[in-house]
Amino acid sequence: MTPGNRPHLDETADRLARRPWPATPLRPGVRVSFEFFPPATEKAEAKLANCAEQLAPLSPAFVSVTYGAGGTTRDRTQNAVERLRTETDLNVAGHLTCVGSTKSEVASVVDDYFVSGVRHVVALRGDPPEGETDGTVEGGYRSAIELVAGLRKHGDEAGLDDLQISVGAYPEVHPRAASAQADLDNLKAKLDAGADRAISQFFFDTDVFLRFLDAARTAGISAPIVPGIMPVTNFANIARFAERCATAIPEWMHSLFADLDDAPEVRQLVAATVAAEQCRRLAEHGVNHFHFYTMNQPELTAAVCRILGLRPVAGAADEAVSA
Ligand code: FAD
């Protein structure tokens, strides 16, 4: 076979030759952030502490702790945030949902964050309780747009000129949105109301995110839109979660993870490869900040960060939380 008969192979060889890994960062200035969920038991607390300890040396731009819709994890989230703040030198962001809460309840959560030294809030509407379509309450914020405006005002009144606000974005369109355009308009309105950046729902079809980024830029959104990367810790769980969020799982992923339920080591290797490849493609298109949904499990995220070219910074681990 002559080279001319196999253009796809030549193209692959070209691409591999241009690939900068593993000795140098995939792109100069790669930044990462990590999302944790609040632990419910002492054992889970130790697991989160270990996760933070493992990932802290990678010097994330920030780490964030999720918050149950309707305030269901208020104390646990606050405790996890407090602990990460006091026991590590990580820049900690607290998530906050407004569904099911009055404005004054929201203000009191935010004040607790401020007292803990938190200066970054991930502001979300949250999902309504099962069986309801709205979930907002009398005296509460009716959308994330209103929440962002309220937070920005609250921060200004507290004299915090360094308050960062992040919001959610949906490359595959939020399942409750009236249309893709309405969803994009909503994102723009959240940013115009005072948010600094958007963090995306996780996705597996990288082209979908790249098209969404193009559409957002065309719509006049200039704020950073950070892709949410979900390394596949457990395929069955993630498939269920993806269905609820309207995140598509491409056929090739079903095939890749098929029959690996009893082969956790192989599954981990496959999962790291998939997530690293996704980041590599995004980086090729100029993306340089990746937000990892860690599921409080550090290994996969650490492996992908390593492939991205990140290396532990000496001393950063010393400050990490102790279990
Ligand atoms: P909005 O910006 O208000 O809405 C997004 C889109 O969905 C808009 O198009 C809007 O019109 C439409 N929409 C949403 N809900 C409704 C509704 N009830 N009626 C009509 N239209 C609606 N959830 C948590 O509970 N805790 C968390 O910590 C958390 N963290 C998240 C982090 C990220 C990065 C992301 C992307 C999501 C997170 N979520 C979390 C999920 C989020 O709360 C849900 O997706 C929620 O349904 C929408 O929140 P939002 O702030 O994006 O809402």
The answer, yes or no, to whether residue 126 has pLDDT greater than 70, is yes
User: Which segments within 170-285 are labelled E, that is strand?
Assistant: 197-202, 225-229
Q: pLDDT tens digit string along 174-224? A: 999 999 999 999 999 999 999 999 999 999 999 999 999 999 999 999 999
pLDDT, position 1? 47
Distance CA 97, CA 107 (A): 11
User: Which numeric CATH code is attached to 29-320?
Assistant: 3.20.20.220
- Is the pLDDT at 21 greater than 80, yes or no? no
Crossing angle for the helix pair 74-87 and 103-115, to the nearest 10 degrees: 20
Does the CB atom of residue 53 touch ligand 1 within 6 A?
no
Give the integer Cα–Cα distance in Å for 113 and 108.
Answer: 9
Evaluate if residue 14 carries a pLDDT over 70. Answer: no
- Supply the pTM of this predicted model: 0.91
Ligand 1, atom 10, residue with closest C-alpha: 177
Buried b (16+ CB within 10 A) or exposed e, 284-317: eeebbbbbbbbbbbbbbbbbbbbbbbbebeeebb
Q: Does residue 11 line the site of ligand 1, with CB under 6 A? A: no
**How far does residue 98's CA lie from ligand 1's centre (Å)?**
10
Which pLDDT tens digit goes with each residue over 259-307?
Answer: 998 899 999 999 999 999 999 999 999 999 999 999 999 999 999 999 9
In the numeric block, the tokens 């991930």 are attached to 122
- Ligand 1 atom closest to residue 187's alpha carbon, by position in its atom list: 2
Domain boundaries along the sequence of the chain: 29-320
In this prediction, residue 23 has a pLDDT band, given cuts at 50, 70 and 90, of very low
